Amino acid sequence: AQSVTQLGSHVSVSEGALVLLRCNYSSSVPPYLFWYVQYPNQGLQLLLKYTSAATLVKGINGFEAEFKKSETSFHLTKPSAHMSDAAEYFCAVRTNTGFQKLVFGTGTRLLVSP
């Protein structure tokens, strides 16, 4: 069964600094990978997804992620953090084997300080 591991339950950065949120996946078949963002008291919103086309995926709000099969990673980055990026970020994986569910990581809270 597929799974994802998010390293670091909390990540703190200063405004303007690089954001790096880590996600490693485990899957015996080619995965589809997603990053979702959850702002306080709201639902989840898709940031970006990898669907086996380009390995570098660009998403909304200046975020991007690179699929690295050799490292089984799909880390999320943003060159310059903004205060409005403070939120909970979830990595998720799904595969095409039968009808598989979307499996979420435990989430990483991004804190942005002025």
Partner 1 sequence: DTAVSQTPKYLVTQMGNDKSIKCEQNLGHDTMYWYKQDSKKFLKIMFSYNNKELIINETVPNRFSPKSPDKAHLNLHINSLELGDSAVYFCASSLHTGAQETQYFGPGTRLLVL
Given a contact cutoff of 8 angstroms between Cβ atoms, the answer to whether 5 and 107 are in contact is no
Using the minimum distance from each CB to partner 1, give the nearer residue, 39 or 79.
39
DSSP strand E in the chain: where? 3-7, 10-14, 19-26, 31-38, 44-50, 56-58, 64-68, 73-78, 87-95, 103-104, 108-113
Minimal distance, residue 78 CB to partner 1, in Å: 20
Binding-site string for partner 1 from residue 58 to residue 97, where x marks contact by CB under 8 A and - marks none: ------------------------------x-x---xxx-
Binding-site string for partner 1 from residue 31 to residue 50, where x marks contact by CB under 8 A and - marks none: -x-x-x-x--xxxxxx--x-
